[in-house]
Amino acid sequence: MQEVRWGIIGCGDVTEIKSGPAFNKCSNSRLVAVMRRNSEKARDYAQRHGVPKWHSKAQDLILDPEVDAVYIATPPDSHAYYAMAVAAAGKPVYVEKPMALNYAQSRQMLEACQQAQVPLYVAYYRRCLPAFLKVKELLDAGAIGDVRLVNIQLYQPPHPELDQQNLPWRVQPEIAGGGLFFDLAAHQLDLLDYFLGPITAASGQKENQAGLYPAEDIVTAQFRFESGVLGSGTWCFSVAAEQQTDETTIIGSRGKITYPTFSNDPVKLYTADGVQEFLLPPPAHVQQPLIQTVVDDLTGHGTCPSTGISAARTAWVMDQIVG
């Protein structure tokens, strides 16, 4: 394959800036078709983004002979269904995160793609962003010595306009798999897998303290990496605005690294020599660097660091934490 011609299932908000335009901006890549059940919205997206074709049925896009690979950008409750349909058509799959509702569905997706002998990629795009590549570079270079422990803190206030009669899908467990923990902690845990290797044991507690929606709004966890590094985390989505926090700390034998996951604040390296800061903002289309690695993998020019195998590990960890 010299060029990858892409189709998108579910051209919603995430595809407007984060991912959609990147398919035409990557080398050896072109977006040729989009699908949304509302045909008018599909047509509108296609016209605004210069996409030649639009569909209102997923199977029409999947079977389109001009589509080589499919990006699934729907909520998690349909990831497994669409991924298996794409695999059955013999086409590579690129699916949004979290990979599925749970680890069991993630395994089904993996097995379907393995049986069909097609690759499966997952949109944990932070693995390719400059700030997190810097963290990995520092760790791999031994900047903080031997890693001892990790701590994640993510505290957010409730959305001020949260409508209990029309809840966003991210806090509906039947659609998202859980609450904001599943949506946000997925990125943080996947990054730790990328930095430090697999997590092999995890447990946790969850609770719905504010009662604003059906899903959990606080989660605490402890986990252990295959290497022996230990970790902990707390995620709370009902704090006062003044308590908002987004910080992961990796502590080693000779220093520590801190970084935010969801803001553009700097990565900080603390050693005996003092504090160094690295401000490395993301590109305009945050998924573009990862999508380029997917294209490179499909065209034989490189490898993608975020696969169904690595993403399924994160699904397993989250299942263990929330029980």
Q: Looking at residues 312-322, what average pLDDT do you find? A: 98
Domains and CATH numbers, the chain: 4-125+286-304 (3.40.50.720), 130-281 (3.30.360.10)
Using CA atoms, how far residue 305 sits from 32, 79, 125, 179, 289, in Å, is: 25, 20, 9, 26, 11
Whether residue 162 has pLDDT greater than 90: no
Q: SS3 for 295? A: helix
What is the percentage of the chain residues whose pLDDT exceeds 90?
A: 97
147: number of Cβ within 10 Å: 22
Q: How confident is the model at residue 135 (pLDDT cuts 50, 70, 90)?
A: very high
Convert the pLDDT of each residue in 231-286 to its tens digit.
Answer: 999 999 999 999 999 999 999 999 999 999 999 999 999 999 999 999 999 999 99
Single-letter code of the amino acid located at 63? L
Whether residue 1 has pLDDT greater than 90: no
Token pair 């669409």: residue? 82
Q: Taking Cα atoms as reference points, which of 152, 128, 150 lies closest to residue 292? A: 128
- 3-state SS track over 126-171: HHHCHHHHHHHHHHHCCCCCCEEEEEEEEECCCCCCCCCCCCCHHH
Q: Looking at residues 205-229, what average pLDDT do you find? A: 97
| pTM of structure | 0.97
Q: Looking at residues 281-307, what average pLDDT do you find? A: 98
Q: Looking at residues 37-45, what average pLDDT do you find? A: 95
Task: Compute the distance between CA of residue 125 and CA of residue 103 in angstroms, rounded to an integer.
Answer: 20
Q: SS3 for 317? A: helix
Whether residue 227 has pLDDT greater than 80: yes
Contact criterion met (CB below 8 Å) for 164 and 212: yes
Token pair 């499919």: residue? 70
Helix 79-88, helix 103-116: angle, nearest 10: 10
- The pLDDT of residue 238 is 97
Contact criterion met (CB below 8 Å) for 6 and 15: no
Strand partners, 307: 121
Mean pLDDT of the chain: 97
Whether residue 161 has pLDDT greater than 90: no
Cα dihedral 291, 292, 296, 298, rounded to 10, equals: 20
Q: Looking at residues 65-90, what average pLDDT do you find? A: 98
Task: Compute the distance between CA of residue 317 and CA of residue 321 in angstroms, rounded to an integer.
Answer: 6
